[in-house]
Structure 1
């Protein structure tokens, strides 16, 4: 197990290094010049050159990259080229919206996918099971923007239960208002991602039902449902855990879109805004954090799956 952990840590470090290089050099291909944006349309070439010199944009790209990676190791993601605010400070502030949104969406996705996925498998030959499977297939194909618009029309316009957009100015000083403002965005992400995960849960449950140990338990006097719940669900849980890393990536991408749709002051909206401003320090910091979260969670899920599944431990 220790050897596996060390190998996983090394692979994680290599993955983060490759991701950082791809993020840094890909962003430099984008058109536009932040120095020109800061100087404005009336800025002279001399002013633009002075700003470039001040921001260190004249330094060769490999040296800029090494300086940025060194900062990451020290916990410093740089400073915004536009506002002069430390990237870590700005991301930390915006994360107070994005992190609760993603966690709430994940809870909703699990509440949608796990019980209904198991039920769809148990009743696969009935109209109920077919309805669950078809509905999940349809919802998984719905773009997040459309899902958000439909939910706004239903819960904000028609029923008036939830605010259609925005976040309280005082933030989390009133947790009730803050949570109410996040419910529709979280539902938008959670329902779509939950439909995707439901299909995995259904497939894993159907596979578990066909296993010898479940059939043996059923032959011993247990009902099929009891046999599945007692002996099959641990394997279903392993399958669900294995796809959670992909779900986290979907949640983060969904958060970027949903924060724009619902005008939430989170990391996703910050990212989109600063792409337009050509604030490369802020953009590369936000994208790297998103990437790091996905890679770290993927590594943790690999470790968890290995710890829960004795077959993986015995394989090496």
Structure 2
């Protein structure tokens, strides 16, 4: 296990290094001058002011030199300063990261909690009326555009019924997730309805395959209760492919949901990444995208470790599986 984890750590460092260089290169090739964007609202700005700002932010240096300087500073713990927000990068990222974790974390938990029983029930009753209804709802959830679903929910619950706020983070001056709870309902509901169908389909497909295996027939022949056969034996093996899907979604917890965050004016990572790229704010975009890459790699590693916990036949001796 130690050798396996060390190998994966080295791979993650290599991926992060390549990603940081690729993001810097792509941001450097984007049209537009960041200094011109900064001075666009100041009619008194002079060419000397622009030159001074370029020197201050290192924009007068070649791209490779700027990347090398950023890398050395980042290794020392300095992730740079945001030109758009006039704050250190971490002070910009952390509040929005917390908002995204709250929003997408609740969505992921609710989606999996709903998808597991629905998928298992559909797999236990294939081609039944209930199975058909569950499949229809799943296809509807997958097919409906999230922005259109968000508009419908806003019109119904915020405009017509006036039960819930249409957007925003919470009352001004109030902190904590309890104050944000009413504002979370509609975006969480939208994301859950949009994602639970896909999870349910994965659970149903995995369980259908497992319930046809010989060990399931053997367990039933031994007289084990049906609940134990399905949930302790069948679902445990079916969870292996499901864990892979959930692990891949784990990276999205840190990259945000741009459309939903925009629709509900929720200040999260998706909107921040979009604004930083459009505003040519290299430091914020670079650190945010690297964070999303790192969490995706961490999710994949967690999935590999979960495989060994779910299936004792999977080991990591000698660096393999």
The two structures have a TM-score, normalised by structure 2, of 0.90
- What is the DSSP-based 3-state SS (H/G/I as helix, E as strand, rest coil) of the residue aligned with 1:162? coil
Q: Which runs of 5+ in 2 are unaligned?
A: none
Q: Which runs of 5+ in 1 are unaligned?
A: none
Structure 2 match to 1:17 = 17
Structure 2 match to 1:286 = 288
- What is the DSSP-based 3-state SS (H/G/I as helix, E as strand, rest coil) of the residue aligned with 2:151? helix
Report deviation, 1:174: 5.1
Structure 1 match to 2:94 = 92
1:34 counterpart = 2:34:
yes
Structure 2 match to 1:295 = 297
Inter-CA distance 249–159: structure 2 relative to 1 (3 Å threshold): farther
After the TM superposition, which of the residue ranges 66-75 and 13-22 deviates more from structure 2? 66-75
- What is the DSSP-based 3-state SS (H/G/I as helix, E as strand, rest coil) of the residue aligned with 2:87? coil
Q: How many residues align?
A: 316
Report deviation, 1:100: 0.7
Report deviation, 1:228: 1.4
Report deviation, 1:224: 4.6
Hey, what's the Cα distance between the residues in 1 that align with 2:227 and 2:131? Answer: 15
Task: Identify the match of residue 269 of structure 1 among 246, 268, 271.
Answer: 271
C-alpha distance after superposition, 1:73-125 (max 9, x if no partner) = 33432101233310011111222311111111111211221111111111222
Hey, what's the Cα distance between the residues in 2 that align with 1:296 and 1:174? Answer: 27
Structure 1 match to 2:308 = 306
- What is the DSSP-based 3-state SS (H/G/I as helix, E as strand, rest coil) of the residue aligned with 1:14? helix
Hey, what's the Cα distance between the residues in 2 that align with 1:172 and 1:238? Answer: 42
Inter-CA distance 287–8: structure 2 relative to 1 (3 Å threshold): same
**Native 8 Å contact 1:307 1:313 kept in 2:** no
The two structures have a TM-score, normalised by structure 1, of 0.91
Task: Identify the match of residue 210 of structure 1 among 209, 212, 225.
Answer: 212
Hey, what's the Cα distance between the residues in 2 that align with 1:134 and 1:114? Answer: 17
**Native 8 Å contact 2:122 2:134 kept in 1:** yes
Report deviation, 1:170: 4.3
Inter-CA distance 189–252: structure 2 relative to 1 (3 Å threshold): farther
Hey, what's the Cα distance between the residues in 1 that align with 2:173 and 2:16? Answer: 32
Hey, what's the Cα distance between the residues in 2 that align with 1:287 and 1:171? Answer: 30
